Amino acid sequence: MKAKRLQAALAALVIAGSGVLVTNTAEAAAPTTLQELVPQPVQVQPRPDITFTLTAASKIQLATRDARKPAELLAKVLRPSTGYALPITDGVSGAGVVLTGGADPKTGPEGYQLDVTPEQVVIRASSPAGHFNGIATLRQLLPPKAEAKTRQPGPWTVPGASILDHPRYHHRGAMLDVSRHFFTPDQVKRYVDQIAAFKINYFHLHLSDDQGWRLEIKSWPELTRIGGSTEVGGRTGKLFYTQDQYRDIVAHAASRGITVIPEFDMPGHTNAAQASYAELNCDGKKRPLYTGTEVGFSSLCINNDITYKFVEDVIREVSAITPGLYFHIGGDEALSTPDADYVTFMNRVLPIVEKYGKTTVGWHEFIKTTKDTTVIPQFWGTTTTDANVAAAAQRGNKVLMSPANRIYLDMKYDKNTKLGLDWAGLVEVRDAYSWNPGAYLNGVTEANVRGVEAPLWTETIRTSADIEYMAFPRLPVAAELGWSPAAVHDWDRFAPRLGAQGPRWKVQGVNFYASTQVPWKR
């Protein structure tokens, strides 16, 4: 017992200030999962003399409003692997997991406290987001086999700890391009489940491009009948979501605490729409469907009024089935749109997004066309200077950071990577980690940053296994950069935590890239 007390005493030597778990010899004996969390929480205080064990008698207890969806996610994960009933009950009733209020105000709108006692794991939060985030941590405190879809032997232990946590940035995002290659609703939901485990809270769906229009628009049915009939490489089929399927994807994401941001790229990247309707072309002729991978050759017809009826109908119909606040209008690589026309287009379209109650997100090129400080430029450049983005930041716009040579998940890891592209350079795991979103762009400081988003473009990506190979382990890197305090940014400390995710991904069947830069746990 003496050794335990000594360990507890040493373990208490957690530096609360920077909030990091101080690992010293005694703590090295601390339960491993406490040292394996990604993203790293703000403050972790081991309680080595305490262990909680989930049993058949455990209940998931709701002791505050709006905690049912997080509870249902926890139950969905743990019932198959433990074989326990894990009933969700109202009110605190004993052994198990308690989702309650009364969190320290330091945790803010999305943070949580997680306290382990022999009887209970108590997750305190002031919102469903906080409870979702606490549950993501609890999942990582349990043995990796807790993620299995089939019954596993216990014990289902959680190491003693007191955790206080909250995100560095509000927006931690993942983007999936379903236009270059189409992915079924089930494939999309699989990726949503995988990103939710890392406290990602926004899922950006790139729903239209030159190669495909992927969401039914009732007032423009040819967009999917024709524009949704093919993809890169020429596969044909009904390669689009009905509005009901989109609603289902949105609801699935919400059940993981994730908000969907739909993107309809314009005025460039529009060949699929222009192959569907002759009247969307300045010469009145339909474009041929395109199954290649070039960019920059298409543009809506800026001076035709029907173009803006089309844009408004899309924004109206999609906004009506998108509970989230944001609508992404693309705006990138409008290389076939004269600059003056690009400005004209944005000046007519930005007010339409507002008319339907949404806030505009766009690839950063659009920001030169507006002084509106509520819109969000998504920086995707490969430089550390962009005068228009810096000027917008200084006016008050919040920048969403997606530098292509750091966090584009379709960049090859190294020259041997079969999948992906390399126009922004090769991005190994450490490259994806080695930047500070709050000090990356000249003139864009911590306070000007909305968050981090990791896009996955799919010119070369066809299957869930392809998605996973490119997204894991770099998506969790983006999650760490978006969530954890800048003070804990240290590759030598992060790499082992990332490596400890390997056994979980093996249990989940995630086809991750076992980078030699990461010490993968067996």
Task: Kindly state the smallest distance separating residue 441's Cβ from ligand IFG, in Å.
Answer: 16
Triad 192, 195, 201: Cα angle to 5°: 85
Q: Is 92 in the site for ligand IFG (CB under 6 A)?
A: no
Count other C-beta atoms under 10 Å from residue 51's C-beta: 15
CA distance 353 to 346: 10
Comparison of 169 and 457: residue with beta carbon closer to ligand IFG = 457
Q: Dig out the tokens for 433 from the structure.
A: 């980690």
Query: Going by C-beta distance under 8 Å and a sequence separation of 6 or more, which residues neighbour residue 251?
Result: none
Comparison of 64 and 370: residue with beta carbon closer to ligand IFG = 370
- The beta-strand segments (E) located in 178-316 are 202-208, 259-264
Output phi, psi for 230, to 5 deg. Answer: -150, -175
Task: Kindly state the smallest distance separating residue 181's Cβ from ligand IFG, in Å.
Answer: 12
Comparison of 327 and 408: residue with beta carbon closer to ligand IFG = 408
Helix orientation angle between 464-471 and 474-483, rounded to the nearest 10 degrees: 50
333 catalytic? Reply is: yes
**236-270: b or e for each residue (b if 16 or more CB lie within 10 Å)?**
eeebbbeeeebeebbebbbbbbbbbbbbbbbbbbb
Q: Please select the residue that binds ligand IFG; options are 147, 222, 231, 410, rule is CB under 6 A.
A: 410
Task: Kindly state the smallest distance separating residue 337's Cβ from ligand IFG, in Å.
Answer: 14
Comparison of 423 and 491: residue with beta carbon closer to ligand IFG = 423
Comparison of 327 and 380: residue with beta carbon closer to ligand IFG = 380
* Residues of this chain, 198-237, that bind ligand IFG according to CB under 6 A: none
Comparison of 248 and 333: residue with beta carbon closer to ligand IFG = 333
Closest among 190, 223, 220, 195 to 207, alpha carbons compared: 223
Q: Is 421 in the site for ligand IFG (CB under 6 A)?
A: yes
Task: Look up tokens 């035709």; give the residue.
Answer: 304
* Residues of this chain, 313-352, that bind ligand IFG according to CB under 6 A: 332-333
Q: SS3 string of 280-335?
A: HCCCCCCCCCCCCCCCCCCCCCCCCHHHHHHHHHHHHHHHHCCCCCEEECCCCCCC
Q: In what order do the strands lie in the sheet with 96-100?
A: 43-54, 156-165, 112-116, 120-124, 96-100, 59-63, 88-90
Q: Is 408 in the site for ligand IFG (CB under 6 A)?
A: yes
Total residues interacting with ligand IFG, rule: CB under 6 A: 9
Task: Kindly state the smallest distance separating residue 139's Cβ from ligand IFG, in Å.
Answer: 31
Task: Kindly state the smallest distance separating residue 453's Cβ from ligand IFG, in Å.
Answer: 11
Q: Please select the residue that binds ligand IFG; options are 290, 326, 379, 457, rule is CB under 6 A.
A: 457
Task: Kindly state the smallest distance separating residue 475's Cβ from ligand IFG, in Å.
Answer: 16
Comparison of 35 and 299: residue with beta carbon closer to ligand IFG = 299
Triad 319, 325, 327: Cα angle to 5°: 55
DSSP element (H, E) containing 76:
helix 68-82
**396-426: b or e for each residue (b if 16 or more CB lie within 10 Å)?**
ebbbbbbbbbbbbbbbbbeeebebbeeebee
Comparison of 246 and 457: residue with beta carbon closer to ligand IFG = 457
Task: Kindly state the smallest distance separating residue 339's Cβ from ligand IFG, in Å.
Answer: 18
From the candidates 333, 365, 468, 480, give the one annotated as an active-site residue: 333
Q: Dig out the tokens for 27 from the structure.
A: 């703590």
* Residues of this chain, 345-384, that bind ligand IFG according to CB under 6 A: 363, 380
CA distance 317 to 386: 34
- The DSSP letter of residue 120 is E
Q: Is 110 in the site for ligand IFG (CB under 6 A)?
A: no
Task: Kindly state the smallest distance separating residue 458's Cβ from ligand IFG, in Å.
Answer: 9
Q: Please select the residue that binds ligand IFG; options are 8, 26, 29, 295, rule is CB under 6 A.
A: 295
Q: Is 426 in the site for ligand IFG (CB under 6 A)?
A: no
Residues forming the site for ligand IFG (CB under 6 A): 295, 332-333, 363, 380, 408, 410, 421, 457
The residues carrying an active-site annotation are: 333
